[in-house]
């Protein structure tokens, strides 16, 4: 029997309408198993546990779809075995976080006059302070980050301040990095363990010069970045400065990118195209949206087989999209243009991460080699670029650190304007 | 060098609309068949048309820095002096040869004088994390088929940019291409060396606006006429702060929102502390205190996420603590915050009843600005329980612990662990009373 389309439409309508009429019925927190993914850290008398429910779990707990409004819940538990009360600084977690009443307002039509929703949101909220000998726990409603959530917990008392940082993966996000099994990338025989700085420098200078196309027959943008550190130090540092992961190119991401292009909006996770190092596409890409999709800074990272004092070493590439140009190479006759002075994007990233509280040391090593403005090289998109040919090496450590704590490694003389740092070194030696 | 297989073609960031593509290799659109016989003529016509667009670049006259320096705002740090000016739109067009304002770029002229024996590295990211690179700016004005003119413009914009480094005992000046601020630009110049850093902060007004320092001078003169109350003693200060009016009033004298914040600091420190956390001077409905409307009102600016909806109004008080001006302020949020829709008749939204939340958020913002030296709490409007809120017709209702936060704002960067606490009212005790009173005695979820 052929289905009557009218009947189908009515049925669909009835289903939608009944969906709207469901009552506000959140599930008890204990019944939602998100705490299985909780992470705990201890510093002296403070034990801090953090877990991030997925969008579905949060919907069960709150009884409404937080993700639909761009919101996310973070669960925090603080056990205080010291002798002073501590305050959890929510602005450190997200300076634009939502109060319970503000978040509840977005869902006020979900149950009756909105009072039930408000009461429920307030009962879930984390409440300060954490008294000596007590344990406090609850949720904070913050902006939704897809993929991974960098959770910074700062607790202050009259005498001390303590900082905790967590990196929590969303098991449902199809980030490009979810395609990669980082532990299986290299066999134990392939890992190169390095202890001495000079040995690290030599190994970094031997890394590939550039990204390549899939077949390895053409070379593209220079690999001008190296990161050394633990994941919990590197990735939250990026998040703190507004860098976000990118989705792999799949249908949902594609649609969101189209929307962003058409309405000029900001899709924070739009995919970036694949470039190849070690014969594989980037292990992960990150981007910092600016005005709109035409203007963004993006970088790609690959895990290298190097380990420095037990820490992972990543190699990467950054460029700055500065606009759109006419081209005969695409169906819509436009393409992104990168700032040809690629060193500017490299310096920008270094500065940006200097404010991330987690950058400890910086050095420069030889990379692709110099290309002048008069005779630039070209990337795979036929965009010209010029560079001093160096790569910046950034060492990450646990936060907090300030600008004034950042040290320089004495390798290649830093390029202009950073040359001044080196001059200081030689002045000091004199 | 086109990639052969579909998967290897470059898409996403390189090809705008192809960002979502299945990565088919691109093809040139075919010319309609009717035009094919006259192909040569079409191409020739197009080239002639385009040739007409290839206007040469007229290099502007060399920059006359004297005018910019003459009206610059200046501030000094340890062995450094920073001057800053925003050129007027006319000056800007004359300097750059293009209309930067049209693209939302606000050039900021900076001169950094270095009187020390060490080179200084200047970090524009600290001033504006979304600043534009010189070639990004010039690219926005590139014309098609004008390669020579474009290259000259690139060179011109690059040449005017600040070099970002200042040698020992020398001076360096140039432009930073920043995002536009409408009224005042709070300029935080971070100077970095190896294992040290210092910040010099200043406020630069745009053309035709009054700088906060100027406004402060005007206010000080008004207050001087009716008498300044000087004190060096902390407990006397506490008494004075507790004697301040409980609330702001509407024009007709009705008491409205509680005054829940006190700021003690110079305008040149208070301003940057707020600006660092995204606050900008914004207009607000008038409230009254000391017989005048607010001296400043501010709210947080959206960057690329919606910012917290707090609205803040401040007045300069006649009190001076150890010579430092004392401000009293009121901070609250509209009910529903970022989710509230403005009323159709433009009427102000009711306030969020939990006014302490807005106060505590603002305190945290100042904590993270690294300008907070000390914090204390004093009695203000007095406790109003959530179970019996205070209703103000036309404004909404509120409940509060009744305290005012007192923030001592100073310039040097304070780490979280360096912030001092005054032994006045203790927020912790107030919350404990609430717990003991059974208002929130349940353990957290």
pLDDT tens string A43-72: 999 999 999 999 999 999 999 999 999 999
What is the ipTM metric for this complex?
Answer: 0.79
Quote the crossing angle between the two packed helices B267-276 and B355-368, to the nearest 10°. 100
pLDDT recorded at residue A383: 86
Cβ contacts of A185 within 8 Å, gap of 6 or more: A283, A303
Once rounded to an integer, what is the mean pLDDT over residues A220-227?
95
Task: Tell me: pLDDT of A333 over 70.
Answer: no
Contact call for residues B193 and B218 (beta carbons, < 8 A): no
Confidence of residue A249 (pLDDT cuts 50, 70, 90): very low
Question: Contacts of residue A92 in chain B, CB cutoff 8 Å?
Answer: 364, 368
- Positive or negative torsion for Cα B90, B92, B97, B98: negative
Contact call for residues A274 and B6 (beta carbons, < 8 A): no
| Domain end point (choices A169, A200, A216) | A169
Question: Contacts of residue B188 in chain A, CB cutoff 8 Å?
Answer: none
Cβ contacts of A327 within 8 Å, gap of 6 or more: A333, A334, A335
Question: How many CB pairs below 8 Å do chains A and B form together?
Answer: 270
Question: Contacts of residue B308 in chain A, CB cutoff 8 Å?
Answer: 95-97
8 Å CB contact of B126 and A355: yes
Find the closest chain B residue to A250 by CA distance: B20
pLDDT tens per residue across span A153-173:
999 999 899 999 998 888 887
A271 touches chain B (CB under 8 A): yes
Q: Is residue A307 part of a domain?
A: yes
Q: Is residue A5 part of a domain?
A: no
pTM attached to this predicted model: 0.80
pLDDT recorded at residue A56: 95
CA dist list (Å): B311 to A387, B283, B336, B405: 46, 10, 13, 16
The runs of H, that is alpha helices, within B176-265 are 212-226, 234-243
pLDDT recorded at residue A271: 59
Cβ contacts of A102 within 8 Å, gap of 6 or more: B309, B333, B336, B337, B338, B339, B352
**d(CA A171, nearest CA chain B) in Å:** 23
8 Å CB contact of B444 and A254: no
Question: Contacts of residue A328 in chain B, CB cutoff 8 Å?
Answer: 28
Question: Contacts of residue B417 in chain A, CB cutoff 8 Å?
Answer: 156, 160-161
B427-B432-B438 Cα angle (round to 5):
135
Q: Tell me A64's DSSP state.
A: S
8 Å CB contact of A417 and B165: yes
Closest CA to A356 of A402, A287, A288, A408: A402
A409 touches chain B (CB under 8 A): no
pLDDT recorded at residue A22: 52
For residues A283 and A321, membership in a common domain is answered with yes
pLDDT recorded at residue B13: 34
Q: Is residue A93 part of a domain?
A: yes
8 Å CB contact of B14 and A273: yes
Q: HSE of B30 in the Cβ direction (CA atoms, 13 Å)?
A: 4
Question: Contacts of residue B25 in chain A, CB cutoff 8 Å?
Answer: none
pLDDT recorded at residue A145: 83
Find the closest chain B residue to A241 by CA distance: B129
8 Å CB contact of B17 and A332: yes
Closest CA to B230 of B327, B318, B313: B318
For residues A126 and A155, membership in a common domain is answered with yes
Once rounded to an integer, what is the mean pLDDT over residues A378-386?
86
Closest CA to B262 of B55, B110, B67, B424: B424
pLDDT recorded at residue B36: 56
B417 touches chain A (CB under 8 A): yes
Q: Is residue A67 part of a domain?
A: yes
> Which of these ranges, A174-183, A201-210, B342-351, has the smallest mean pLDDT?
A174-183
Between these two residues, A142 and B38, which has the higher pLDDT value? Answer: A142
For residues A376 and A332, membership in a common domain is answered with yes
pLDDT tens per residue across span A13-50:
544 444 444 578 999 999 999 999 999 999 999 999 99
Instruction: Extract the tokens encoding B340.
Output: 């509230």
Task: Tell me: pLDDT of A80 over 70.
Answer: yes
**d(CA B293, nearest CA chain A) in Å:** 28
**d(CA B161, nearest CA chain A) in Å:** 13
Q: Is residue A8 part of a domain?
A: no
Grouping H, G, I as helix, E, B as strand and the rest as coil, residue B22 is coil
Residues 110-169 of A with CB under 8 A from B: 123-124, 126-129, 131, 135-139, 143, 154, 156, 158, 160-161, 163
Residue ranges of chain B with pLDDT lower than 50?
1-31, 51-52, 436-441
| CATH assignment of B71-205, among 2.40.10, 2.60.40, 3.40.50, 1.10.4160 | 2.60.40
Q: Is residue A12 part of a domain?
A: no
Question: Contacts of residue B299 in chain A, CB cutoff 8 Å?
Answer: none
pLDDT recorded at residue A259: 54
Cα B146 from Cα B263, distance rounded (Å): 55
For residues A225 and A151, membership in a common domain is answered with no
For residues A182 and A96, membership in a common domain is answered with no
Share of residues in chain A with pLDDT > 70 (%): 79
Between these two residues, B43 and A99, which has the higher pLDDT value? Answer: A99
| Sheet of A71-80, strands arranged across | A39-43, A46-51, A71-80, A135-143
pLDDT recorded at residue B152: 93
Residue B43: burial class (beta carbons within 10 Å; 0-12, 13-18, 19+): exposed
For residues A161 and A205, membership in a common domain is answered with no
Between these two residues, A428 and A70, which has the higher pLDDT value? Answer: A70
For A84-134, strand residue ranges (E) read 87-88
Grouping H, G, I as helix, E, B as strand and the rest as coil, residue A174 is coil
For residues A261 and A387, membership in a common domain is answered with yes
B371-B377-B381 Cα angle (round to 5):
125
Q: Of the candidates B117, B144, B333, which has its C-beta nearest A326's C-beta?
A: B144
Cβ contacts of B1 within 8 Å, gap of 6 or more: A213, A217, A218, A380, A382
Q: Of the candidates A124, A266, A271, which has its C-beta nearest B19's C-beta?
A: A271
Phi-psi label, residue A178: left if phi above 0, alpha if psi -120 to 50, beta otherwise: alpha
Domain containing A138 — which CATH number? 2.60.40
Q: Is residue A259 part of a domain?
A: yes
Cα A134 from Cα A84, distance rounded (Å): 11
Grouping H, G, I as helix, E, B as strand and the rest as coil, residue B314 is strand
For residues A188 and A144, membership in a common domain is answered with no
Q: Which domain holds residue A359?
A: 176-429
Report the number of distinct structural domains present in chain A: 2
Contact call for residues A267 and A291 (beta carbons, < 8 A): no
Residues 129-168 of B with CB under 8 A from A: 129-130, 133-136, 139-140, 144, 163-167
pLDDT recorded at residue B439: 40
Between these two residues, B10 and A189, which has the higher pLDDT value? Answer: A189
8 Å CB contact of B305 and A143: yes
Cβ contacts of A64 within 8 Å, gap of 6 or more: A24, A26, A107, A110, A117
The residue extents of the domains of chain B are 1-27, 71-205, 212-436
Contact call for residues A358 and A234 (beta carbons, < 8 A): yes
For residues A79 and A205, membership in a common domain is answered with no
For residues A215 and A249, membership in a common domain is answered with yes
| Domain end point (choices A169, A194, A227) | A169
Grouping H, G, I as helix, E, B as strand and the rest as coil, residue A394 is strand
| Domain end point (choices A147, A169, A191) | A169
Residue whose token pair is 């693209």: B103
pLDDT recorded at residue A421: 59
8 Å CB contact of A330 and B12: no
Find the closest chain A residue to B8 by CA distance: A214
Q: Is residue A28 part of a domain?
A: yes
For residues A224 and A143, membership in a common domain is answered with no
For residues A325 and A376, membership in a common domain is answered with yes
**d(CA B188, nearest CA chain A) in Å:** 13
């Amino acid at each position: 029997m052929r289905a009557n389309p009218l009947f189908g439409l009515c049925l669909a309508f009835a289903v939608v309408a009944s969906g709207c009429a469901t009552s506000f019925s959140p599930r008890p927190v204990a019944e939602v198993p998100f705490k299985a993914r909780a992470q705990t850290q201890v510093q002296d008398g403070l034990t801090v546990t953090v877990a991030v429910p997925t969008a579905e779990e949060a919907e069960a707990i709150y009884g409404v779809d937080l993700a639909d409004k761009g919101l996310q819940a973070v669960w925090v538990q603080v056990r205080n075995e010291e002798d002073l009360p501590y305050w959890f600084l929510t602005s450190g977690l997200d300076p634009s976080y939502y109060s319970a009443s503000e978040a509840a307002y977005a869902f006020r039509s979900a149950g009756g006059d909105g009072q039930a929703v408000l009461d429920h949101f307030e009962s879930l909220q984390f409440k300060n302070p954490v008294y000596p000998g007590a344990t406090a726990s609850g949720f904070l409603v913050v902006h939704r980050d897809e993929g991974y959530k960098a959770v910074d917990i700062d607790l202050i008392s009259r005498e001390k301040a303590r900082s905790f940082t967590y990196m929590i993966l969303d098991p449902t996000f199809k980030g490009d990095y979810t395609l990669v099994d980082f532990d299986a990338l290299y066999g134990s025989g392939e890992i190169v363990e390095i202890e001495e700085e000079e040995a690290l420098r030599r190994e970094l200078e031997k890394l590939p010069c550039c990204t390549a196309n899939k077949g390895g027959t053409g070379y593209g943008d220079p690999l001008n970045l190296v990161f050394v550190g633990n994941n919990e130090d590197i990735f939250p540092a990026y998040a703190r400065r507004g860098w976000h992961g990118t989705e792999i190119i799949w249908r949902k991401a594609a649609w969101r990118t189209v929307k962003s292009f058409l309405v000029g909006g900001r899709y924070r996770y739009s995919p970036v195209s694949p470039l190849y190092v070690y014969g594989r596409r980037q292990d992960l890409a990150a981007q910092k949206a600016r005005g709109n999709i035409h203007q963004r800074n993006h970088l790609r990272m690959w895990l290298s087989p190097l380990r420095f004092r037990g820490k992972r070493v990543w190699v990467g590439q950054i460029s700055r999209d500065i606009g759109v140009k006419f081209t005969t190479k695409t169906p819509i006759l436009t393409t992104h243009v990168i700032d040809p002075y690629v060193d500017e994007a490299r310096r920008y990233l270094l500065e940006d991460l200097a404010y991330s509280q987690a950058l400890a040391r910086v050095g420069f090593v030889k990379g692709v080699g110099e290309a002048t403005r008069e005779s630039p090289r070209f990337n795979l998109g036929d965009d010209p670029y010029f560079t001093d040919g160096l790569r910046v090496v950034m060492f990450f450590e646990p936060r907090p650190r300030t600008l004034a704590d950042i040290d320089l490694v004495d390798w290649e003389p830093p390029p202009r304007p950073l040359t001044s740092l080196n001059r200081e070194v030689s002045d000091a030696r004199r | 060098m086109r990639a052969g297989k579909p998967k290897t073609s470059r898409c996403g960031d390189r090809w705008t609309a192809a960002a979502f593509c299945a990565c088919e290799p691109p093809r040139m659109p075919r010319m309609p068949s009717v035009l094919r016989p006259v192909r040569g003529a079409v191409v020739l016509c197009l080239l002639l048309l385009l040739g007409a667009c290839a206007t040469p670049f007229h290099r502007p006259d060399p920059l006359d820095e004297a005018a910019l320096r003459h009206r610059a705002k200046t501030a000094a740090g340890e062995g450094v002096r920073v001057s800053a000016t925003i050129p007027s739109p006319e000056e800007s067009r004359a300097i750059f040869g293009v209309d930067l304002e049209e693209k939302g770029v606000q050039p900021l002229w900076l001169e950094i004088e270095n009187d020390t024996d060490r080179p200084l590295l200047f970090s524009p990211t600290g001033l504006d994390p979304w600043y534009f690179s010189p070639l990004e700016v010039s690219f926005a004005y590139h014309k098609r088929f004008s390669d020579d003119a474009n290259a000259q413009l690139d060179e011109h914009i690059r040449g005017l940019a600040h070099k970002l480094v200042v040698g020992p005992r020398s001076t360096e000046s140039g432009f930073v291409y920043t995002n536009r601020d409408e009224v005042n630009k709070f300029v935080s110049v971070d100077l970095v060396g190896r294992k040290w850093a210092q910040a010099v902060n200043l406020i630069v007004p745009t053309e035709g606006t009054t700088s906060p320092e100027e406004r402060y001078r005007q206010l000080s003169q008004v207050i001087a006429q009716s008498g300044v109350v000087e004190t060096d003693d902390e407990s006397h200060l506490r008494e004075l702060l507790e004697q301040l009016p409980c609330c702001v009033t509407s024009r007709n004298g009705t008491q409205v929102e509680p005054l829940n914040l006190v700021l003690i600091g110079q305008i040149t420190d208070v301003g940057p502390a707020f600006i660092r956390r995204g606050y900008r001077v914004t207009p607000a409905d008038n409230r009254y205190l000391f017989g005048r409307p607010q001296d400043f009102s501010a709210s947080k600016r959206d960057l690329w996420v919606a910012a917290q909806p707090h609205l803040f109004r401040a007045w300069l008080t006649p009190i001076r603590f150890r010579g430092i001006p004392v401000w009293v302020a009121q901070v609250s949020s509209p009910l529903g915050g970022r989710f509230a829709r403005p009323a159709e008749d433009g009427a102000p939204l009711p306030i969020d009843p939990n006014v302490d939340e807005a106060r505590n958020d603002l305190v945290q913002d100042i904590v993270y600005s690294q300008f907070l030296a000390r914090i204390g709490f004093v009695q203000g409007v007095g406790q109003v329980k959530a179970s019996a809120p205070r209703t103000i017709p036309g404004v909404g209702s509120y409940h509060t612990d009744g305290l005012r936060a007192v923030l001592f704002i100073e310039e040097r960067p304070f780490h979280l662990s360096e912030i001092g606490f005054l032994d006045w009212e203790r927020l912790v005790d107030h919350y404990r009373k609430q717990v003991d009173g059974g208002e929130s005695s349940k353990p957290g979820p």
